[in-house]
Amino acid sequence: MLEGLMLGLGAAISPFNILMVFLGCFLGTFIGMLPGLGPMSIIAIMIPVAIQLGDPASALILLAGVYYGAIFGGSTSSILINAPGVAGTVASSFDGYPMARAGQAGKALTIAALASFLGGTISALLLMIFAPLLSSVAKLFWSAEYFALMVLGLTAIAAFAGPGKKLKALLMSVVGIMLATVGESALHNAARFTMGIMDLQSGFYFVTLVMGLFALPEALFLILNPKRSAQQENQNEIKDLRISMDEAKNLAPVVGRQSVLGFLVGVLPGAGATMASFLGYAVERNLAPKDQREQFGKGAQRGLAAPETANNAACTGSFVPMLTLGIPGSGTTAILLGALVALSVTPGPRLIEDQPEVFWAVIISMYLGNVVLLILNLPLIPYIAKLLTVPRQYLIPFVVFFSLIGAYIGQNNPTELLIMIGTGLFATLLRFGGYPLPPLIIGFILGGMLEDNLGRAMRKAGGMEFLWERPMTLGILVVAAVLFFYPIIKDRLQSRRA
């Protein structure tokens, strides 16, 4: 392994490559802050530039910088303006945005940057040690297990539900899955529930829904409730980046656990950063001491550190199936796989033996992206956080404009804007009724994958028998049930004792 590591280092480190990683991180962070432009689209845009470089190591280093930069940029817009542009950073907004609203934007961004960095570091170490072994475990997962994994992801709704909101949260996640069934599915060609609207043929566009559910209602509430705007303007500590020793001690176990969990979820093809971030959030909420658990959704530091660590660790984990099996586990790794092939590198079981320098260069370059991102972004955080001091007469129209244009450029279709405005009004009404919105978007994101895997599993088994006939499926479903019912039973027992 050490020999391979040195080979990778030799291929990856040179002044030119260091310049490439800085450039990639810088571009990725700023473009990633625009809602609607996630790592996938930014990497796709940068591929022609990377291929022009000729050298696979330089190209990969540039793309790695863009990748990590885009993820951090996405977290920034989630935390500062509640506009998560990509699914992987939705969970970061649940506690990151309340922290920013409470005047702790600088601290929230620092926690996000450090948690991402540590998640990336620990998972890179795990990748080096376990990559060959894990690829054989990932092969054991079939549609039935993926379906069970989606159900496990959906039990995360238990984590988002405050007291007296469990049924509402469940209802919202079911509505989210319903929205995901609109249009064509991977298993059936005929579109469903489009009501004759051609623009719904391929379903709802993720960015349109997420902007409509989160960014627009927030902008509307800032206008509707003048007190809310006043809170926004009275922020003196937004540039304060310091994390105290006690806070660091409180977050350390979260980062440790979520690095391992996120990495393992990332290894499974199809699960990826989104699932890892939701699962991480749910697990940490259940494990948190009671006083901290009640803070989840209101600005809990653990609630921000968990998804940030897990999604970065999962990004590293998703390289295991890509490099060792040639199977891209996510949209982003699929595009990176395309870039590797264009650079005459063929990922697969023989890569580590045939081209060890490339295998290790990919790992080293991913890690280099992580390190440079931290060096580059920590000093920039005070300036990025100052975004919140922009007067409301500029901030609100700009947030609305960036949300609208994020939805528009993804599809180049003005109907998306009308769908987004409709979703925004509906989401505002839901907030008036105290219905939690995160479960709705989780249901929507996981809904498509859930239906595809359920369909495949049922076709293979000829019915629902796979639920109890496959031990691993049954095991995951039991874990899901425990994760869902444990907090309910615990709360009941505690209230009885009291």
Partner 1 sequence: MSLNADRLIALLMLAFSVGYGYLAWTHPLLPFEARQPFKPNTLPMGLAVLAAVLSLATLVYESSDDLPEDATGWRSFEWRTAAVLVVLMVAYALLLRPAGYILATTGFLVAGGYLLGERKYAVLATVAIITSVLTWFIVQRGLGIYLVPLPAFLGGA
**Which chain residues interact with partner 1 by CB under 8 A?**
31, 37, 45, 164-168, 170-171, 174-175, 177-178, 181, 185, 187-188, 190, 192-193, 219-221, 223-227, 391-394, 396-398, 400-401, 404-405, 408-409, 412, 414, 417-418, 421, 425, 429-435, 450-451, 454-455, 458-459, 461-463
Tokens at 224, concatenated: 């509707």
Cβ neighbour number for residue 458 with a 10 Å cutoff: 17
Tokens at 322, concatenated: 């890509």
Sequence-distant (6+) residues with CB within 8 A of 133 are: none
Q: How far is the CB of 387 from partner 1 (least distance, A)?
A: 14
Q: Which is nearer to partner 1, 307 or 424 (CB)?
A: 424
Task: Find the angle CA(300)-CA(380)-CA(382) to the nearest 5 degrees.
Answer: 55
Q: How far is the CB of 185 from partner 1 (least distance, A)?
A: 7
Q: Which is nearer to partner 1, 121 or 453 (CB)?
A: 453
Q: How far is the CB of 198 from partner 1 (least distance, A)?
A: 16
Q: How far is the CB of 188 from partner 1 (least distance, A)?
A: 4
Q: Which is nearer to partner 1, 82 or 312 (CB)?
A: 82
Burial profile 9-27: b = 16 or more Cβ within 10 angstroms, e = fewer: eebbbeeebeebbbbbbbb
Tokens at 87, concatenated: 């699914």
Q: DSSP string covering 290-304, please?
A: HHHHTTTTTT-HHHH
Q: Which is nearer to partner 1, 188 or 350 (CB)?
A: 188
Burial profile 289-305: b = 16 or more Cβ within 10 angstroms, e = fewer: eeebbebbbebbbbbbb
Q: Which is nearer to partner 1, 57 or 169 (CB)?
A: 169
Q: Which is nearer to partner 1, 125 or 461 (CB)?
A: 461
Sequence-distant (6+) residues with CB within 8 A of 109 are: 75, 76, 79, 80, 241, 381, 384, 385
- C-alpha torsion sign, points 219, 220, 226, 227: negative
Q: How far is the CB of 400 from partner 1 (least distance, A)?
A: 6
Tokens at 271, concatenated: 């699960």
Q: Which is nearer to partner 1, 132 or 391 (CB)?
A: 391
Tokens at 469, concatenated: 């006939």
Q: Which is nearer to partner 1, 66 or 361 (CB)?
A: 66
Q: Which is nearer to partner 1, 82 or 365 (CB)?
A: 82
The type of residue at 432 is: F
Q: Which is nearer to partner 1, 145 or 451 (CB)?
A: 451
Burial profile 31-44: b = 16 or more Cβ within 10 angstroms, e = fewer: bbbbbbbbbbbbbb
Q: Which is nearer to partner 1, 12 or 477 (CB)?
A: 477
Q: How far is the CB of 160 from partner 1 (least distance, A)?
A: 14
Q: How far is the CB of 490 from partner 1 (least distance, A)?
A: 19
DSSP 3-state of 310: helix
Q: How far is the CB of 168 from partner 1 (least distance, A)?
A: 6
> In angstroms, how far is the first alpha carbon of the chain from the final one?
56
For 250-355, list the strands marked E by DSSP. Answer: none
Structure letter (DSSP) for residue 155 = T
Q: How far is the CB of 393 from partner 1 (least distance, A)?
A: 4
Q: How far is the CB of 197 from partner 1 (least distance, A)?
A: 13
Tokens at 470, concatenated: 């496959």
Q: Are 60 and 405 in contact (CB under 8 A)?
A: no
Q: How far is CA 332 from the centre of its chain?
A: 12
Q: How far is the CB of 224 from partner 1 (least distance, A)?
A: 4
Q: DSSP string covering 72-137, please?
A: HHHHHHHHHHS---SGGGHHHHHHHHHHHHTT-HHHHHHHHHHHHHHHHHHHHHHHHHHHHHHHHH
Q: How far is the CB of 210 from partner 1 (least distance, A)?
A: 16
Q: Which is nearer to partner 1, 391 or 475 (CB)?
A: 391
